[in-house]
Protein backbone atom coordinates (compact mmCIF):
# COMPACT_ATOMS: atom_id res chain seq x y z
CA UNK A 1 0.00 0.00 0.00
CA UNK A 2 1.28 3.48 -0.87
CA UNK A 3 2.40 5.56 2.09
CA UNK A 4 4.40 8.61 3.13
CA UNK A 5 4.42 7.56 6.80
CA UNK A 6 7.27 5.18 7.60
CA UNK A 7 7.21 5.65 11.37
CA UNK A 8 6.50 1.94 11.96
CA UNK A 9 8.87 0.68 9.28
CA UNK A 10 12.34 -0.68 10.12
CA UNK A 11 15.18 1.83 10.38
CA UNK A 12 16.17 1.38 6.75
CA UNK A 13 12.71 2.45 5.66
CA UNK A 14 12.78 5.67 7.69
CA UNK A 15 15.92 7.01 6.00
CA UNK A 16 15.57 10.06 3.78
CA UNK A 17 19.06 9.78 2.29
CA UNK A 18 21.82 7.22 1.81
CA UNK A 19 25.38 7.06 0.57
CA UNK A 20 27.04 4.06 -1.01
CA UNK A 21 30.79 3.96 -1.63
CA UNK A 22 33.23 1.27 -2.67
CA UNK A 23 36.82 0.76 -3.76
CA UNK A 24 38.32 -1.89 -6.00
CA UNK A 25 41.87 -3.00 -5.26
CA UNK A 26 44.62 -4.39 -7.45
CA UNK A 27 45.46 -7.34 -5.21
CA UNK A 28 43.79 -9.36 -2.50
CA UNK A 29 46.49 -8.17 -0.07
CA UNK A 30 45.57 -4.54 -0.77
CA UNK A 31 41.92 -5.35 -0.12
CA UNK A 32 42.75 -7.00 3.19
CA UNK A 33 44.78 -3.98 4.30
CA UNK A 34 41.87 -1.70 3.38
CA UNK A 35 39.45 -3.44 5.74
CA UNK A 36 40.69 -1.39 8.68
CA UNK A 37 40.03 1.87 6.83
CA UNK A 38 36.56 0.69 5.89
CA UNK A 39 35.89 -0.09 9.55
CA UNK A 40 36.95 3.47 10.40
CA UNK A 41 34.55 4.83 7.81
CA UNK A 42 31.74 2.65 9.13
CA UNK A 43 32.45 3.83 12.68
CA UNK A 44 32.50 7.47 11.59
CA UNK A 45 29.10 7.15 9.92
CA UNK A 46 27.67 5.23 12.89
CA UNK A 47 28.79 7.98 15.29
CA UNK A 48 27.35 10.80 13.16
CA UNK A 49 24.05 12.55 13.95
CA UNK A 50 21.08 11.09 12.09
CA UNK A 51 22.69 7.72 11.37
CA UNK A 52 20.15 4.89 11.11
CA UNK A 53 21.66 1.75 9.56
CA UNK A 54 24.45 0.49 7.35
CA UNK A 55 25.69 -2.57 5.55
CA UNK A 56 29.31 -3.34 4.72
CA UNK A 57 29.86 -5.58 1.73
CA UNK A 58 32.39 -7.05 -0.61
CA UNK A 59 32.04 -8.25 -4.16
CA UNK A 60 34.28 -9.75 -6.77
CA UNK A 61 36.85 -8.81 -7.87
CA UNK A 62 38.55 -7.39 -4.75
CA UNK A 63 35.94 -4.72 -4.06
CA UNK A 64 34.96 -3.46 -0.61
CA UNK A 65 32.01 -1.17 0.02
CA UNK A 66 29.59 0.26 2.52
CA UNK A 67 26.04 1.64 2.27
CA UNK A 68 24.88 3.97 5.07
CA UNK A 69 21.42 5.40 5.71
CA UNK A 70 20.56 8.68 7.46
CA UNK A 71 17.43 10.41 8.72
CA UNK A 72 17.95 13.50 6.52
CA UNK A 73 20.13 14.65 3.65
CA UNK A 74 21.60 17.44 5.80
CA UNK A 75 22.74 14.92 8.40
CA UNK A 76 24.30 12.77 5.69
CA UNK A 77 26.12 15.80 4.26
CA UNK A 78 27.42 16.62 7.74
CA UNK A 79 28.79 13.09 8.08
CA UNK A 80 30.58 13.42 4.76
CA UNK A 81 32.19 16.80 5.40
CA UNK A 82 33.35 15.85 8.91
CA UNK A 83 35.04 12.61 7.84
CA UNK A 84 38.75 12.43 8.70
CA UNK A 85 41.12 13.25 5.86
CA UNK A 86 42.50 9.69 5.78
CA UNK A 87 39.05 8.49 4.61
CA UNK A 88 39.03 10.83 1.62
CA UNK A 89 39.92 8.11 -0.95
CA UNK A 90 36.59 6.42 -0.11
CA UNK A 91 34.54 9.61 -0.41
CA UNK A 92 35.35 10.97 -3.85
CA UNK A 93 31.74 11.39 -4.90
CA UNK A 94 32.37 13.78 -7.79
CA UNK A 95 34.71 14.06 -10.72
CA UNK A 96 35.48 11.66 -13.55
CA UNK A 97 35.89 8.51 -11.44
CA UNK A 98 33.68 8.73 -8.35
CA UNK A 99 33.81 6.06 -5.67
CA UNK A 100 30.10 6.18 -4.95
CA UNK A 101 26.89 8.18 -4.89
CA UNK A 102 24.46 9.97 -2.63
CA UNK A 103 20.80 9.06 -3.20
CA UNK A 104 17.67 10.61 -1.70
CA UNK A 105 14.44 8.82 -0.81
CA UNK A 106 11.27 9.65 -2.71
CA UNK A 107 8.55 10.89 -0.35
CA UNK A 108 6.08 8.16 -1.25
CA UNK A 109 6.81 4.47 -0.93
CA UNK A 110 5.26 1.26 0.31
CA UNK A 111 4.36 -0.15 3.70
CA UNK A 112 2.23 -3.17 4.54
CA UNK A 113 0.85 -5.07 7.47
CA UNK A 114 2.23 -4.35 10.92
CA UNK A 115 4.73 -1.88 9.42
CA UNK A 116 1.92 0.21 7.91
CA UNK A 117 1.22 3.24 10.08
CA UNK A 118 -2.18 3.99 8.54
CA UNK A 119 -4.21 0.85 9.21
CA UNK A 120 -2.06 -2.29 9.36
CA UNK A 121 -3.51 -3.95 6.27
CA UNK A 122 -1.76 -6.18 3.76
CA UNK A 123 -2.39 -5.37 0.10
CA UNK A 124 -1.07 -3.68 -3.03
CA UNK A 125 -2.09 -0.55 -4.86
CA UNK A 126 -4.01 -0.53 -8.13
CA UNK A 127 -1.35 0.58 -10.61
CA UNK A 128 2.40 0.63 -11.05
CA UNK A 129 4.46 3.79 -10.73
CA UNK A 130 4.61 5.66 -14.07
CA UNK A 131 7.83 5.51 -16.05
CA UNK A 132 9.26 8.75 -17.42
CA UNK A 133 7.73 7.98 -20.84
CA UNK A 134 4.29 7.38 -19.36
CA UNK A 135 4.55 10.55 -17.30
CA UNK A 136 5.57 12.60 -20.35
CA UNK A 137 2.69 11.19 -22.39
CA UNK A 138 0.26 11.52 -19.47
CA UNK A 139 -0.74 7.88 -19.95
CA UNK A 140 -1.81 5.56 -17.16
CA UNK A 141 0.62 2.82 -16.11
CA UNK A 142 -0.56 -0.83 -16.18
CA UNK A 143 -2.55 -2.42 -13.40
CA UNK A 144 -0.63 -4.38 -10.79
CA UNK A 145 -3.10 -7.29 -10.79
CA UNK A 146 -3.59 -7.51 -14.56
CA UNK A 147 -1.39 -10.58 -14.91
CA UNK A 148 -2.22 -14.02 -13.60
CA UNK A 149 -1.23 -14.77 -10.02
CA UNK A 150 0.14 -18.14 -11.17
CA UNK A 151 3.89 -18.57 -11.04
CA UNK A 152 5.45 -17.70 -14.45
CA UNK A 153 6.23 -20.80 -16.49
CA UNK A 154 9.78 -22.05 -16.58
CA UNK A 155 10.59 -20.68 -13.14
CA UNK A 156 12.19 -23.20 -10.81
CA UNK A 157 14.31 -22.72 -7.73
CA UNK A 158 17.56 -22.24 -9.69
CA UNK A 159 20.04 -19.87 -8.10
CA UNK A 160 21.15 -16.89 -10.22
CA UNK A 161 24.37 -17.30 -12.16
CA UNK A 162 27.28 -15.02 -11.41
CA UNK A 163 27.83 -12.40 -14.14
CA UNK A 164 30.74 -13.34 -16.37
CA UNK A 165 31.81 -9.74 -17.04
CA UNK A 166 33.33 -7.33 -14.54
CA UNK A 167 30.68 -5.79 -12.29
CA UNK A 168 29.67 -2.20 -12.91
CA UNK A 169 30.96 0.34 -10.38
CA UNK A 170 28.39 1.38 -7.80
CA UNK A 171 28.77 5.01 -8.91
CA UNK A 172 26.82 4.06 -12.06
CA UNK A 173 23.68 3.70 -9.95
CA UNK A 174 21.28 6.65 -9.97
CA UNK A 175 18.37 4.69 -8.50
CA UNK A 176 17.99 1.98 -5.89
CA UNK A 177 15.37 0.38 -3.74
CA UNK A 178 15.67 -0.81 -0.18
CA UNK A 179 12.90 -3.03 1.11
CA UNK A 180 12.09 -6.02 3.27
CA UNK A 181 9.35 -8.50 4.07
CA UNK A 182 8.57 -10.04 7.44
CA UNK A 183 7.73 -13.68 6.67
CA UNK A 184 5.65 -15.95 8.85
CA UNK A 185 8.14 -18.76 9.32
CA UNK A 186 10.35 -21.42 7.73
CA UNK A 187 7.60 -22.75 5.44
CA UNK A 188 7.12 -19.32 3.86
CA UNK A 189 10.87 -18.90 3.38
CA UNK A 190 11.14 -22.28 1.67
CA UNK A 191 8.25 -21.41 -0.65
CA UNK A 192 9.87 -18.04 -1.34
CA UNK A 193 12.94 -19.65 -2.91
CA UNK A 194 10.89 -20.94 -5.85
CA UNK A 195 9.92 -17.37 -6.73
CA UNK A 196 12.90 -15.35 -5.52
CA UNK A 197 15.86 -17.08 -7.19
CA UNK A 198 14.41 -17.13 -10.72
CA UNK A 199 13.40 -13.48 -10.31
CA UNK A 200 16.93 -12.49 -9.30
CA UNK A 201 18.42 -14.56 -12.13
CA UNK A 202 16.38 -12.46 -14.54
CA UNK A 203 17.12 -9.17 -12.78
CA UNK A 204 20.91 -9.45 -13.09
CA UNK A 205 20.60 -9.69 -16.89
CA UNK A 206 18.38 -6.62 -17.27
CA UNK A 207 19.42 -3.33 -18.86
CA UNK A 208 20.62 -0.85 -16.29
CA UNK A 209 21.21 -3.38 -13.52
CA UNK A 210 24.26 -2.50 -11.39
CA UNK A 211 24.29 -4.66 -8.26
CA UNK A 212 22.20 -6.08 -5.43
CA UNK A 213 22.66 -7.48 -1.96
CA UNK A 214 20.42 -8.82 0.79
CA UNK A 215 20.16 -8.52 4.54
CA UNK A 216 18.55 -10.58 7.29
CA UNK A 217 16.97 -9.63 10.60
CA UNK A 218 15.85 -12.12 13.22
CA UNK A 219 13.67 -14.08 13.10
CA UNK A 220 12.14 -14.13 9.61
CA UNK A 221 12.80 -10.76 7.92
CA UNK A 222 14.64 -10.69 4.60
CA UNK A 223 15.55 -7.46 2.84
CA UNK A 224 17.07 -6.38 -0.46
CA UNK A 225 19.15 -3.45 -1.67
CA UNK A 226 19.16 -3.25 -5.48
CA UNK A 227 20.95 -0.64 -7.57
CA UNK A 228 20.11 0.41 -11.15
CA UNK A 229 21.50 2.93 -13.59
CA UNK A 230 18.17 4.74 -14.02
CA UNK A 231 14.85 4.94 -12.22
CA UNK A 232 13.10 3.58 -15.32
CA UNK A 233 15.43 0.56 -15.30
CA UNK A 234 14.36 -0.16 -11.74
CA UNK A 235 10.68 0.20 -12.65
CA UNK A 236 11.15 -2.17 -15.60
CA UNK A 237 12.32 -4.82 -13.15
CA UNK A 238 9.31 -4.13 -10.91
CA UNK A 239 6.92 -4.86 -13.78
CA UNK A 240 8.37 -8.16 -14.93
CA UNK A 241 6.11 -11.20 -14.34
CA UNK A 242 8.29 -12.82 -11.69
CA UNK A 243 8.32 -9.73 -9.52
CA UNK A 244 4.62 -9.08 -10.02
CA UNK A 245 3.91 -12.64 -8.93
CA UNK A 246 6.06 -12.22 -5.81
CA UNK A 247 4.14 -9.09 -4.78
CA UNK A 248 0.81 -10.84 -5.23
CA UNK A 249 2.03 -13.92 -3.35
CA UNK A 250 3.08 -11.81 -0.36
CA UNK A 251 0.10 -9.45 -0.19
CA UNK A 252 -2.84 -11.76 -0.94
CA UNK A 253 -3.26 -12.55 2.80
CA UNK A 254 -1.12 -13.04 5.91
CA UNK A 255 -0.21 -16.69 5.30
CA UNK A 256 3.20 -15.84 3.81
CA UNK A 257 4.06 -12.45 5.29
CA UNK A 258 2.80 -10.01 7.89
CA UNK A 259 4.70 -6.84 6.95
CA UNK A 260 6.69 -5.21 4.19
CA UNK A 261 8.17 -1.89 3.12
CA UNK A 262 9.91 -0.33 0.12
CA UNK A 263 11.64 2.99 -0.42
CA UNK A 264 13.04 4.20 -3.72
CA UNK A 265 16.17 6.36 -3.54
CA UNK A 266 17.29 8.36 -6.56
CA UNK A 267 20.08 10.75 -7.45
CA UNK A 268 18.86 14.27 -6.65
CA UNK A 269 19.21 15.41 -10.26
CA UNK A 270 16.95 12.57 -11.47
CA UNK A 271 14.19 12.80 -8.85
CA UNK A 272 10.67 12.33 -10.18
CA UNK A 273 8.33 15.35 -10.25
CA UNK A 274 5.79 15.55 -7.45
CA UNK A 275 3.04 13.00 -8.03
CA UNK A 276 5.25 10.48 -9.81
CA UNK A 277 6.65 8.74 -6.76
CA UNK A 278 7.11 5.08 -6.02
CA UNK A 279 4.56 2.48 -4.99
CA UNK A 280 4.42 -0.97 -3.48
CA UNK A 281 4.12 -3.30 -6.42
CA UNK A 282 6.18 -0.97 -8.58
CA UNK A 283 9.29 -1.35 -6.48
CA UNK A 284 9.70 -4.76 -4.83
CA UNK A 285 9.39 -6.13 -1.34
pTM metric for this prediction: 0.88
The string of pLDDT tens digits covering residues 111-131 is: 999 999 999 989 888 888 889
Total domains in the fold of the chain? 2
Fill in the DSSP letter of residue 256. S
Q: Based on the domain organization, do 95 and 84 belong to the same domain?
A: yes
Q: Cα–Cα distance between 62 and 69 in angstroms, integer?
A: 24
Structural domain that includes position 262: 107-270
- In the chain the first and final C-alpha atoms are separated, in Å, by 11
Of 178, 253, 226, 264, nearest to 4 by C-alpha is: 264
Q: Based on the domain organization, do 129 and 261 belong to the same domain?
A: yes
Q: Based on the domain organization, do 62 and 112 belong to the same domain?
A: no
The string of pLDDT tens digits covering residues 140-187 is: 998 887 654 445 554 444 555 555 567 899 999 999 999 999 999 999
Q: Based on the domain organization, do 95 and 115 belong to the same domain?
A: no
Of 205, 237, 206, nearest to 224 by C-alpha is: 237
Q: Based on the domain organization, do 30 and 94 belong to the same domain?
A: yes
CB 257 within 8 A of CB 250: yes
For the chain, where are the E strands, in sequence order? 2-3, 17-24, 51-59, 63-70, 100-105, 109-113, 175-183, 209-217, 221-228, 257-266
CA dihedral sign of residues 220, 7, 52, 264: positive
Assess whether pLDDT exceeds 90 at residue 96. no
Amino acid sequence: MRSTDFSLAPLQGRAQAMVVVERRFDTAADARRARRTRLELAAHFADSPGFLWQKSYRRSPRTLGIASYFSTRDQLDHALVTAPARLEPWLRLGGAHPTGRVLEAEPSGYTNGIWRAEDGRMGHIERFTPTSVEAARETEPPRVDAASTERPTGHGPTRPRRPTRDPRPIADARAMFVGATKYTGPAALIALTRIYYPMIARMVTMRGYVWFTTYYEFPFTLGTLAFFERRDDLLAFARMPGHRHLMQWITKDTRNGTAGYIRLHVAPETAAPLGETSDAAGSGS
